[in-house]
């Protein structure tokens, strides 16, 4: 379907892991004007729609739950105004998600509609709880059952006698608060009390919980509901006993670890992804933002004088982007760098240079300023060298090159700005001592975190990207538990895992 103005898209958000969103879902989120999402949709998915107005329609225990007619009215209001509306729904829109009501309302108004499927909890359990809901020898059929029917019904529409005799796997959705009712109904109908059961909470997320018990023990495990809160499903049947042999999640090295990633927005994705792949629960809280300089006067002057320099050194990939993008904005191209040796601190910086079709002439094996200075050494004598850096970067490189006789000019191509407000949920999680690790990738980040978490930072284990960052943390009174070597994001994750063993 072509993306049209005033269209409505009902998209399945999947079971929780943000990586389980479909490609079509991500594509449509990226084109949305408005996104309505519920508490079962992972908020990380909203990163696909930074341009959209984002409206939460309720989260259990956190905010008021909107009534269905309110949600429908909001969808129609925006769609009629010509906006592209995404309704993001946990799991699959066609499974206990009241999609029919929303779809009927949209079609009644003659508005374009598309429904995008998602992975529902029953299917996710097969992968993430090690429970295949079908099995050639144990279960050739599956029944998906709601444990919470429409309250206005005069009597239950479920045939518990038939479900008790069902020759396969039963999956109970939304059955936490009603567990006593539906388990007793199954037992009265003749379902064996010792039927194996698995209770799965927050399926596919790092803090997923699984309890194995018998059918006659389910209600005691779920009551009170505060002990095993929704979202949760219950799987009944012999297939639940296969979880011991199919449980691959337990082997992930960062399982049960909560890691705070503090890189700027737009740069945190790679690190967060690596940590999630290893089982960590990742919290995102940028400590700094990366911004252009307050004015471009110094950069423009440096660009005007490029022909006078023999060496250009970039201290970071951010410096590459800001400096060379400014070069192009002024109507020039990379020919302006002809005859100038280019050095990069770090492989990532060199990779950024390649996006401008340039190669690094100088790339030390060790990715820090001192290594660059040593690499250049006496070759710096008498040369005019331009060093591109951040507003709060250190001046070690410039000083050492000057000591070798280089004529060094430092150019501030971008600035680090402290993030002044911390996300309330992250702040509370830190205060409660529930953050195991925090990753710190620069001295500027270290300084901002010291201000942001003046007390709780001492309760987190710190993983530092480099000795320079570690020294800043030490000066601020913090102990570093792990330090990357070499100074790359991949190495940072590796040493964090090793320190956690």
> What is the full DSSP assignment across 122-154?
HHHHHHHSS--S-BTTTBS-EEEEESS--TT-S
Cα-trace Rg, the chain: 28
Residue 10 and residue 99 in contact, taking contact as beta carbons nearer than 8 Å: yes
* Structure-block tokens of residue 89: 């729904």
91 forms bridges with which residues in the sheet? 14
Helix segments in 404-442, DSSP class H? 424-431
Pairing of strands 341-344, 311-314: parallel
How far, CA to CA in Å, does 102 sit from each of 12, 53, 377?
Answer: 14, 19, 69
Question: Distance (Å, rounded) from C-alpha 135 to C-alpha 239?
Answer: 7
Other beta carbons less than 10 A from residue 344's beta carbon: 29
Provide the annotated active-site residues.
38, 59, 174
Angle CA 164–167–171, to nearest 5: 65
The number of helix segments (H) and strand segments (E) in the chain equals 18, 20
To which H or E segment does residue 471 belong? helix 467-475
CA distance 472 to 188: 66
Strand order in the sheet with 53-56: 53-56, 34-37, 85-89, 8-12, 113-116
The DSSP code for 98 is -
Q: CB under 8 Å, gap of 24 or more: what pairs does 424-429 form? A: 425/283, 426/260, 426/283, 426/284, 426/285, 427/453, 429/258, 429/283
- Residue 114 C-beta-side C-alpha neighbours within 13 Å: 20
**Mapping DSSP to helix (H, G, I), strand (E, B) and coil, where does residue 386 land?**
strand
The residues, ordered by sequence, that sit 6+ positions from 446 with a Cβ below 8 Å of its Cβ are 440, 464, 469, 472, 473, 476, 478
Q: How far apart are CA 92 and CA 381, in angstroms?
A: 66
């Amino acid at each position: 379907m072509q993306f049209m103005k005033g269209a409505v898209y009902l998209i399945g958000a999947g079971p929780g892991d943000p990586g389980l969103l479909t490609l079509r879902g991500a594509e449509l989120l990226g084109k949305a004007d408005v996104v309505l999402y519920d508490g079962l949709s992972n908020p990380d998915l909203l990163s696909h729609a930074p341009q959209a107005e984002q409206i939460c329609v309720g989260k259990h225990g956190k905010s008021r739950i909107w009534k269905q007619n309110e949600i429908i009215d909001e969808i129609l209001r925006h769609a009629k105004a010509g906006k592209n509306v995404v309704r993001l729904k946990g799991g699959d829109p066609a499974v206990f998600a009241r999609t029919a009501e929303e779809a009927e309302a949209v079609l009644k108004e003659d508005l374009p509609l598309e429904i995008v499927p998602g992975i529902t909890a029953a299917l996710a359990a097969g992968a993430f709880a090690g429970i295949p809901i079908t099995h050639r020898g144990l279960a050739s059929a599956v029944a998906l059952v709601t444990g919470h029917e429409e309250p206005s019904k005069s009597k239950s529409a479920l045939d518990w006698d038939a479900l008790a005799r069902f020759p396969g796997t039963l999956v109970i959705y939304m059955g936490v608060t009603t567990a006593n009712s539906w388990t007793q109904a199954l037992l009265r109908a003749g379902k064996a009390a010792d039927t194996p059961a698995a209770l799965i909470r927050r399926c596919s997320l790092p803090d997923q919980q699984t309890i194995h018990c018998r059918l006659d023990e389910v209600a005691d495990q779920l009551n009170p509901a505060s002990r095993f809160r929704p979202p949760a499903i219950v799987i009944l049947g012999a297939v639940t006993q296969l979880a011991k042999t199919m449980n691959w999640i337990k082997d992930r090295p960062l399982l049960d670890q909560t890691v705070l990633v503090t890189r700027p927005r737009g740069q945190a994705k790679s690190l967060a992804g690596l940590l999630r792949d290893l089982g960590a629960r990742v919290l995102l809280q940028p400590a700094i933002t990366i911004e252009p300089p307050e004015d471009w006067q110094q950069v423009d002057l440096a660009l005007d004088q490029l022909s006078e320099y023999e060496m250009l050194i970039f201290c970071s990939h951010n410096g590459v982007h800001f400096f060379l993008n400014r070069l192009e904005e002024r109507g020039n191209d990379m020919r302006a760098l002809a005859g100038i040796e280019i050095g990069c601190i770090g492989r990532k910086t060199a990779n950024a240079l390649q996006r401008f079709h340039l190669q690094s002439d100088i790339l030390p094996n060790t990715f820090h300023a001192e290594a660059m200075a040593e690499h250049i050494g006496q070759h710096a004598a008498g040369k005019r060298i331009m060093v591109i850096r951040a507003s709060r970067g250190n001046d070690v490189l410039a000083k050492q090159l000057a000591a070798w006789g280089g004529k060094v000019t430092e150019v501030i191509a971008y600035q680090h700005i402290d993030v002044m407000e911390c996300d309330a949920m992250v702040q509370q999680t830190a205060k409660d001592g529930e953050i195991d690790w925090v990753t710190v990738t620069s001295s500027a980040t270290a300084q901002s975190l010291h201000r942001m978490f003046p007390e709780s930072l001492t309760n987190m284990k710190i993983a530092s990207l480099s000795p320079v960052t570690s020294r800043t943390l030490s000066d601020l009174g913090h102990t570093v538990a792990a330090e990357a070597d070499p100074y790359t994001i991949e190495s940072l994750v590796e040493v964090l895992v090793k320190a956690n063993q």
